[in-house]
Structure formats: C-alpha cells, structure tokens
Amino acid sequence: MSIPPLVDPGPPLPAGRAARFARHLTLPGIGAEGQRRLAAARVLVIGAGGLGAPIVQYLVAAGIGLITVIDDDRVERSNLQRQVLHGEADLGRPKAESVRDAVARLDPGVHVTAHVERLHPAGAVELFEAHDLVLDGSDNFATRYLVNDAAELSGTPVVWGGIHRFSGQLSVFLPGRGPMLRDLFPEVPDADAIESCAVGGVLGALCGVVGSAMAVEALKLLCGVGEPLVGRLARYDALAARWDELRFAADPDRPAVMSLEEIAVLCEVPRGRPDDISADEVAARLGGSGLTVIDVRTDGERAASEIPGSAHVPLDDILDRGWVAVSGALHEAGGDIVLVCQAGLRSACAIDALAASAPADAALRNLAGGMDAWAAASQGR
C-alpha cells in the first residue's frame, strides 16, 4: 500500500544543509524535494528511552525540521546499556531534556522541544494535531492505547513499535486508511501482563534495530516513498536473526473511538492506598522487629531481584488458600506485613483477597510502587 507524502516540501535548502544531506539527494523517491519535505516535517516522539533514542538519533540525522519528545522519566545508570543518546553525565536528568541536548550536539539546525511529562488524555488530541506524524516508543499499555485513540480522533498517522527480551515488533497505523492498534490487539492488557525490562531484561542493541526500523517507516511516510507497514506487523527475532510478518485487517465490528474517556481511566496515576508503605520506610525497618515482607511475584521475577529477608508466597497461592498461605511465612506475631510485587498492583490484589480471612489485627501493608520503587529508591541510598 503506497500513500502520498504526509508533508509538502519546504523552501529550498541552503547550500550547507544540502551538503549535509547529499546522500539523500541522489536517492530515487527522496531527492531534493523529499529532503525539503523532511525539513518541513513536524514529528512527535513518545518516549526518550530504548526506542526513542535511536528514533530521534536517525530522525535528526535525516534532517527532520521539528521534533517534539515527551517523556516523564529520568536517566538511570541501567538505561545506558541501550538508550544511546544518554550518558553518565545525564544521570538523574529528565530523559526528554537529555535527548534535546544530545540533538543540539548532533545537529543544531534541528529544533527539538522537550516535554517532561507523561502523555495525558487532556491535550493529547491537540498535541497530535500539531504534528504530521507520531512515533510511539512508550513502554506501557495505557500510553500505547492512548496513542491509538488520540490518533484516531485527530487523524494523525502513527509508527508503533515494541521490544521484549530478544524480540521486537513494529507497524504503521493510518487512521481511516488502515487497521489500528485496537484492530490488532482489541483488549488493553493488564498493566503487569508482560514483565518489564528490569525484570525480564532486554538486549540493548535490539533497541537500535527496532528503533531504526521505525525511523525508516517515518521517513517513508513523510516522503511518500515505498510501501509502509500498514496492515502488517513486522516481527524480529534477534536470536534467530529472522524477520517475519503478520498481516491483519480492520475489524468491521469494532466500535470507532469517539472520545478518550475510556482510556483516561487507565492513564490516571494511582492515587495510593491507605495501606501503602514507602520503599524508604521498608528499607529503614529491614532487619528489625515488627516487619515481615512477603513477595507475591513469580519465581522468575524473584530470581531477578528481591528484598533481603523477604518471604515468597506467590499471588496464586494467596488467591487459592487465603490467610493460610501467608501465616506460615510470618517472622513473628503482630507487626506490619508488607506485600510486594513488581509495580504494586498484584500486591494490592493480594491484600484485598486476604481481607476476608486475615485476623482482625493483621496489619497488611502494600509496598507503593513495588519493586520498581524499591529499585529506584535503592539507587539513592
């Protein structure tokens, strides 16, 4: 499926800029006119991490005129294995600002705007409408479906990608002209349905493969060259060094996206629970009396990281046996019983399940943010 260029050509390039992009100027389908389209393009990149870094790096090298990067996260040392626009000097900085400054070093002729925030339903449609193309390198389901829905409402094309361990995938969604994410994956998965990079790991160079492929799709769309991945899911297996493809079509029975109200619920930042306890407080009380930490994650997750001295009682066991499953793991009678999972969702579920069978004086606490919060707090200790 070929589509016309997303962007009209801008003015002729100055001699210095033309020399910079000389290898594009001789390419069939791009040439001087295509390079002028790239210079006039406005591109929004969701995420400044594993995928966002190579995406931005190659969009800048290609001469995109305006790039907006949105990300609410900060650079951590564990990011540097794959997020190639950040360095040791950027530790603790907002990723969006780190990427913006890296771009200034690569090509000061490209304008980059950094939004240090998470994409939010309020204003998402207007933000999409201000850009010609969106590249989604986010790392959570709520944002991915928000991107889909905002794209449908605004009519903005999306290049979408994802990575996990040794595999990656990408596709192109053209509202009104091809199937969308909700046609490919109709239901929004649970937030922790797939383990995070921190738990499952990810091959660093894989981010470059998938992020670069996403940048290629973006350049094709902006210039109107080649066949974009519309209705096709490209999948890459790094261990087998093999690409394959899944074709999919729009579901005629899927209701059209009419508003962002549904996805807004999933995008809300959890307000916390009255039984929450912080990672810093747990760390301060470890090894003392009056505290038992119970890890409800799977064996594989616990093998990757654990809180010292914690007991392991998987959530499935708690759901099956209730308080009996937990009581044998208690260090002492009384005191706080802190339940922990990866992000704080399954541990909260465990507490709710125990409510019916736990003794009235059982002080059940939920580690706010789970092991993700524990890892972040550990870096500061």
Active site residues: 197, 341
Token readout for 366 is 């939920």
Residues whose CB is less than 8 angstroms from the CB of residue 134 and which lie 6 or more positions away in sequence, other chains included: 43, 44, 45, 46, 128, 147, 151, 156, 157, 158, 159
Instruction: Say how far apart CA 67 and CA 368 lie, in whole Å.
Output: 35
Integer CA distances (angstroms), 98 to 58, 63, 215, 332, in order: 16, 19, 19, 48
**Is there a contact between 221 and 6 (Cβ–Cβ < 8 Å)?**
yes
CB-CB neighbours of 269 under 10 Å: 8
Question: What is the distance, to the nearest Å, from the Cα of residue 95 to the centroid of all Cα atoms in its chain?
Answer: 13
Instruction: Say how far apart CA 220 and CA 233 lie, in whole Å.
Output: 16
Pick the closest to residue 200 from 295, 350, 302 (CA basis): 302
DSSP β-bridge partners for residue 134: 44, 158
Q: Does residue 150 sit in helix, strand or coil?
A: helix
- Dihedral (CA of 325, 331, 336, 339) sign: negative
**Is there a contact between 251 and 115 (Cβ–Cβ < 8 Å)?**
no
**Is there a contact between 196 and 73 (Cβ–Cβ < 8 Å)?**
no
Instruction: Say how far apart CA 50 and CA 12 lie, in whole Å.
Output: 34
Residue 181: which H helix or E strand, with range? helix 181-184
